[in-house]
Every structure is written in structure tokens, then in C-alpha cells.
């Protein structure tokens, strides 16, 4: 097929690479404008743009697609379909109607659960047992279009946002290739009205650890916010990022260290305790608990800020 591809991060880049490998003709790539990143805040192309440039595919990077001028580069393209994955711009109806078979979206959730910007993190944070990929026929709503195929993947107890992202990126790439190969036989299903939830963007404020929550809730937060924006607590005014932990039975003064061993720092929660095995001091490196304690000794009874 002749495809317009719209996407920005690594999640989308995997799908673009898979479509190229499957023999489809990518006639244009849409991606977000280069953004400043890194310590030097150097303008950096998106992961999708990098793939497109390697394959010598034309790239278009509009700030918006609202005006006729912004839409003009797409108007002369005779595409069969547009594939959209984590693009980041709203597509108006005139763009949705351009390709022969419309626009297909690779969404990282089991719709209608977790429509919106951060479905991977929200699924973990909510304690969902499974998530997956939905291939959806796009309309002007926020992830409200008809479903063409659904692919389930379990959320494992040790999954964080990074590991689950990688699983779903691979699953999404495979799912869109399969969907295009069988497009004429796929049944369009209207999303059910029941079970709709919205995956709001993550905020740094959400990442603050409230030790009055249960150990299970805090474990979910640490996993959901790894790698961004990272779950954080405070000790004597110093911010600590918590990267890996396990909820266990335990009691003590909420927010205080109740045990220390070579592998973990155990902290009492509102219910149960959290055995922290990987953490990071502000401005430092991610360290195992053992390495962290070697440079920053702690004692049983040390009190973390209960709610930063």
C-alpha cells in the first residue's frame, strides 16, 4: 500500500520500520518538529524522523494541521491509508478523509479503557492485569473510532512503563502490519459505551510519594512512573527518586525505615512496607540500595517526608 505515516517517539518508529520491512511504500512521514533536548538543549529530531531520513522518505513537520496552508503538502498525495501512532497532533476531518481507506491508529490500550495521552502508565498505576494494542479507524474524537483489531498482553508484576512500552511497541508494529494485510476482512466494531476511561498526561506533582498510601499503591506508582517522571520522596530536604521496589508485609512509623540489609531499604507505608532496591539522589546516578548505602549511610528509624 501507499502509506502516509504520522508518529513521533520510539513507539511509532518501530511501527514505521515494520511497515517498511513489510514492503509498503511510505510516501510521506509526518512527525513533530525537532525539539530541544539533553543538557545542551540541542534541537533533536524525533525517532520517527530518524527512520524516515535513513530510508530517504519525505518528512513534514508542521506545528499544527489546522489551516489550509498547513494541510496543503498532504493534498496532492494519493495514499491508500494513513497510519498514526503517538503522533501528538489532532487530525481534522479533512485529513482523516484524504486516504482511500482513511486513517488507522495504533493505540496502546484495550479501548475504550485508557483513551488519551498516557495509556501505558495509567494501566500500570490502576493495577490493571492486562493491556494491549487496539488498531482503530480514526474519527475526530479522542480515541473514539471503531475498533478493527484488539491484541491483549498481560501486565507482569515486574513490568514498569519502560518494559511495558517496549512490549507494546513490538506488538503494535506486528498488529498494524497484520491489519493492513487483512484490511478487507477486518470487522469494524463500535467501541462499547461502558468502561470508558481517560489516560491524562502525567504530571510531576503526581510522582510525589505519599507514604500514607499502601505499599501496593506505591509500588504501582514507582513502576508506572519509571522512567518518567520518576516517583520521588524527600529526606532532609534532599529529593530521592525511587526506581525499583517490592511491597511486603511490615509495620512501623509511616515513612520511616524499618529495616536495612545489603539489598534493600524497607520503609513503612500506610499499610504494609516497601522494600526499595534501586534509588537515586538528586543529581546522582541510579544505584542499587547496597551502592547507595555505601555512599549515603542510613539508619533504621530515619524518617522520610510523609508527603513531599
Per-residue pLDDT tens digits for 53-108: 999 999 999 999 999 999 999 998 999 999 999 999 999 999 999 999 999 999 99
Provide CATH 3.40.50.170 ranges for the chain: 2-199
State the burial class of residue 37 (Cβ atoms within 10 Å of its Cβ: 0-12, 13-18, 19+).
exposed
Tell whether domain 204-295 is in CATH 3.30.1280.10: no
**CB contact at 8 A, 136 and 148:** yes
State the burial class of residue 90 (Cβ atoms within 10 Å of its Cβ: 0-12, 13-18, 19+).
exposed
| pLDDT tens digits, one per residue of 161-175 | 999 999 999 999 999
**CB contact at 8 A, 36 and 42:** yes
Among the residues of 182-236, which ranges form H helices? 215-224
For residue 39, the model assigns a pLDDT of 80
| Topology, domain 2-199 | Rossmann fold (3.40.50)
> Which residue in this structure is represented by grid cell 524522523?
49
* DSSP letter, residue 306: S
**Per-residue model confidence as pLDDT tens for the chain (308 residues):** 999 999 999 999 999 999 999 999 999 999 999 999 888 889 999 999 999 999 999 999 999 999 999 999 999 899 999 999 999 999 999 999 999 999 999 999 999 999 999 999 999 999 999 999 999 999 999 999 999 999 999 999 999 999 999 999 999 999 999 999 999 999 999 999 999 999 999 998 999 999 999 999 999 999 999 999 999 999 988 999 999 999 999 999 999 999 999 899 999 999 999 999 999 998 899 999 999 999 999 999 999 998 75
DSSP lists the bridge partners of residue 59 as 29
- Rounded to 5 degrees, φ, ψ at 289 are -55, -40
pTM: 0.95
Provide CATH 3.10.25.10 ranges for the chain: 204-295
* DSSP letter, residue 204: G
Using CA of residue 203, residue 63, residue 70, residue 88, what is the dihedral sign?
negative
**CB contact at 8 A, 133 and 150:** yes
Name the residue among 56, 54, 4 with its Cα closest to residue 31.
4
Q: What is the DSSP string of 122-188?
A: HHHHTT-SEEEEEEEE--SSSS-SPEEEEEEEE--TT--HHHHHHHHHHHHHHHHHHHHHTGGGPPP
Amino acid at each position: 500500500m501507499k502509506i502516509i505515516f504520522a508518529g513521533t517517539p520510539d513507539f511509532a518508529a518501530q511501527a514505521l520500520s515494520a511497515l517498511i520491512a513489510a514492503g509498503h511504500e511510505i510516501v510521506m512521514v509526518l512527525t513533530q518538529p525537532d525539539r530541544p533536548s539533553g543538557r545542551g538543549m540541542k534541537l533533536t529530531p524525533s525517532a520517527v524522523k530518524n527512520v524516515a531520513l535513513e530510508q530517504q522518505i519525505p518528512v513534514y513537520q508542521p506545528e499544527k494541521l489546522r489551516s489550509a496552508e498547513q494541510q496543503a503538502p498532504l493534498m496532492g498525495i494519493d495514499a491508500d491509508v494513513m497510519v498514526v501512532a503517538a503522533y501528538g497532533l489532532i487530525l481534522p476531518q479533512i485529513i482523516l478523509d484524504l486516504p482511500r481507506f482513511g486513517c488507522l491508529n495504533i493505540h496502546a490500550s484495550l479501548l475504550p479503557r485508557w483513551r488519551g495521552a498516557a495509556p501505558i502508565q495509567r494501566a500500570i498505576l490502576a493495577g490493571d492485569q492486562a493491556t494491549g494494542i487496539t488498531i482503530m479507524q480514526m474519527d475526530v474524537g479522542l480515541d473514539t473510532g471503531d475498533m478493527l483489531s484488539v491484541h491483549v498482553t498481560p501486565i507482569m508484576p515486574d513490568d514498569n512503563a519502560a518494559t511495558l512500552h517496549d512490549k507494546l511497541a513490538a506488538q503494535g508494529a506486528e498488529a498494524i502490519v497484520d491489519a493492513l494485510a487483512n484490511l478487507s476482512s477486518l470487522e469494524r466494531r463500535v467501541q462499547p459505551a461502558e468502561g470508558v476511561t481517560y489516560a491524562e498526561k502525567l504530571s510531576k506533582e503526581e510522582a510525589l510519594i505519599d507514604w500514607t498510601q499502601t505499599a501496593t499503591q506505591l509500588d504501582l506508582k514507582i513502576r508506572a512512573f519509571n522512567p518518567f517522571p520518576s516517583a520521588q520522596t524527600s529526606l532532609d530536604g534532599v529529593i530521592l527518586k525511587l526506581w525499583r521496589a517490592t511491597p511486603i508485609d511490615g509495620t512501623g512509623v509511616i515513612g520511616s525505615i524499618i529495616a536495612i540489609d545489603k539489598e534493600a531499604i524497607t520503609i513503612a507505608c500506610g499499610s504494609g512496607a516497601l522494600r526499595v532496591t534501586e534509588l537515586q539522589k538528586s543529581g546522582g546516578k541510579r544505584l542499587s540500595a547496597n551502592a547507595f548505602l555505601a555512599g549515603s549511610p542510613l539508619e533504621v528509624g530515619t524518617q522520610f517526608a510523609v508527603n513531599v
